């Protein structure tokens, strides 16, 4: 079956702003400045202002953003970093990459983000930082998380890879903790045409350290005062992001409208719809419902050409890659239950009412077919 409604539709976005993208790419090609340079600087300034922080340092990906944030805060071997298991593996990989140990805590069953009480309980003498994930575009409970972290003197690094433009009590993600990490992977709310990421912070020291680390520890052209990495953003990605950033708020607004239409059309269905926290402005990166018939519904939707997905089917504490940490099934009951029942429906700014209705129609007939087949 061909895809009728994809999970994300980057082609539809390009059809709307193609000339702006083409001009941005041509600018870079004609300048022949492909790494860092004025486009990158312009994007960093614009994105820092957008987030409401003093500094933005662009890097090669969201994963490297988290890794460099941890390095800049001097987190390393022997240290523990608290995060969640219901996220993309990159959150934990970055912790492992610096030699620290990821400590997974369970999530809140309504917001699907870190449960602050469990974070508090997991803090010990080795804990150096906490990485809440603003999953699906919804900010974690940053009031409590920042309060608890401050009380214990540990750093807060936001994984905002899915939450560009989302807000908590009127403050944009990235500006809520000590350091904010963004991904511009093509399918994210603000996406490049390849890998790209950024770190945002109010700290001069952290920004300066990441600026050095991403560029081989370079102080001057041939002078390196520390051993760094090759994790810069390239100018084509920055030019594309410069073209897209002015549209971001409209896109989030349009995503919000798609979510509202789903909410209306799915009311009365036997499923759990997303719940927006009282203090949150949701970025609607994903529209995720929960249903006990998840696997059967996913196949039915896909067979009918609807690009549904699962974010994420196997929690990190149960991934083979993390077997050595010794977690077992049952350790994070909410995370495990959400992993078994969550289903992501298509959402993107250009999605039409017709397409939304089609997704809901297919969903409805699939649930009826399944109900008949099980009675």
Ligand X SMILES: *Cc1c(COP(=O)(O)O)cnc(C)c1O
Q: Is 90 in the site for ligand X (CB under 6 A)?
A: yes
Residues 6+ apart with CB under 8 A from 219: 212, 225
CB of 28 to ligand X, least distance (A): 20
Residue (162 or 261) nearer to ligand X, CB: 162
Residue (283 or 300) nearer to ligand X, CB: 283
Buried (b) or exposed (e) across 24-40, using 16+ Cβ within 10 A? Answer: bbebbeeeeeeebbebb
Q: Is 61 in the site for ligand X (CB under 6 A)?
A: yes
CB of 270 to ligand X, least distance (A): 29
Scan residues 63-82 and list those touching ligand X (CB under 6 A). Answer: 63
CB of 339 to ligand X, least distance (A): 14
Scan residues 167-226 and list those touching ligand X (CB under 6 A). Answer: 183, 185, 195, 197
Q: For residues 271 and 291, is the Cβ–Cβ distance under 8 A?
A: yes
Scan residues 143-172 and list those touching ligand X (CB under 6 A). Answer: 159, 161-162
Residue (116 or 197) nearer to ligand X, CB: 197
CB of 47 to ligand X, least distance (A): 15
Instruction: Choose which of 59, 62, 178, 346 interacts with ligand X (CB under 6 A).
Output: 62
CB of 364 to ligand X, least distance (A): 29
Q: Is 107 in the site for ligand X (CB under 6 A)?
A: no
Which segment (19-27, 67-75, 85-93, 229-237) binds ligand X by CB under 6 A?
85-93
CB of 195 to ligand X, least distance (A): 6
Residue (293 or 334) nearer to ligand X, CB: 334
Cα 126-127-131 angle, rounded to 5 deg: 155
Q: Number of residues in contact with ligand X, rule: CB under 6 A?
A: 15
Residue (9 or 195) nearer to ligand X, CB: 195
Cα 14-299-283 angle, rounded to 5 deg: 45
Residue position matching structure tokens 């009590």: 169
Instruction: Choose which of 58, 83, 91, 335 interacts with ligand X (CB under 6 A).
Output: 91
Q: For residues 91 and 133, is the Cβ–Cβ distance under 8 A?
A: yes
C-alpha 293/C-alpha 80 separation (Å) is 37
Q: For residues 184 and 244, is the Cβ–Cβ distance under 8 A?
A: no
C-alpha 311/C-alpha 245 separation (Å) is 25
C-alpha 174/C-alpha 176 separation (Å) is 6
Rounded (to 5) percent helix, strand, coil in the chain: 45, 15, 40
Q: For residues 169 and 140, is the Cβ–Cβ distance under 8 A?
A: no
Instruction: Choose which of 58, 87, 173, 335 interacts with ligand X (CB under 6 A).
Output: 87
Which segment (56-64, 98-106, 255-263, 367-375) binds ligand X by CB under 6 A?
56-64
Closest of 36, 348, 39 to residue 211, by C-alpha: 36
Cis amide linkage into residue 68, ω under 30° from 0? no
Contact set with ligand X (CB under 6 A): 61-63, 87-88, 90-91, 133, 159, 161-162, 183, 185, 195, 197
């Amino acid at each position: 079956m061909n895809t009728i409604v994809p999970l994300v539709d980057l082609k539809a976005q390009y059809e709307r702003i193609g000339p702006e993208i083409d001009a941005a790419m041509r600018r870079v090609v004609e300048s022949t400045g492909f790494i860092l340079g004025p486009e990158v600087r312009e994007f960093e300034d614009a994105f820092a202002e957008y987030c409401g922080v003093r500094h933005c340092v662009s890097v090669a990906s969201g994963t490297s953003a988290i890794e460099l944030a941890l390095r800049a805060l001097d987190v390393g071997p022997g240290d523990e970093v608290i995060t969640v298991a219901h996220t993309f593996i990159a959150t934990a990989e970055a912790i492992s990459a610096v030699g620290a140990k990821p400590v997974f805590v369970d999530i809140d069953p309504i917001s699907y983000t870190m449960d602050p009480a469990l974070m508090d309980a997991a803090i010990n003498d080795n804990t150096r930082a906490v990485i809440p994930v603003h999953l699906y575009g919804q900010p974690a409970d940053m009031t409590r998380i920042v309060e608890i972290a401050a009380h214990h003197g540990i750093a807060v690094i936001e994984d905002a890879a899915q939450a560009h433009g989302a807000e908590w009590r009127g403050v944009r993600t990235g500006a809520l903790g000590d350091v904010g990490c963004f991904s511009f992977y093509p399918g994210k709310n603000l996406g490049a045409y390849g890998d790209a990421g950024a770190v945002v912070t109010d700290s001069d020291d952290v920004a300066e350290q990441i600026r050095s680390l991403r560029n081989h520890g370079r102080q001057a052209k041939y002078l390196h005062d520390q051993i760094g990495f090759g994790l810069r953003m390239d100018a084509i990605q920055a030019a594309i992001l410069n073209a897209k950033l002015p549209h971001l708020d409209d896109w989030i607004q349009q995503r919000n409208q798609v979510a509202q239409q789903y909410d209306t059309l799915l009311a009365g269905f036997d499923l759990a719809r997303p719940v927006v926290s009282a203090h949150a402005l949701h970025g609607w990166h994903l529209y995720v419902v929960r249903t006990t018939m998840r696997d059967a519904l996913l196949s039915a939707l896909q067979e009918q050409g609807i690009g549904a997905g699962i974010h994420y089917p196997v929690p990190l504490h149960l991934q083979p890659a993390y077997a050595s940490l010794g977690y077992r099934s049952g350790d994070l009951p909410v995370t495990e239950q959400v992993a078994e029942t969550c289903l992501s429906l298509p959402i993107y700014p250009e999605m039409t009412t017709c397409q939304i209705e089609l997704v809901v129609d297919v969903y409805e007939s699939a649930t009826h077919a399944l109900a008949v087949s099980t009675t």
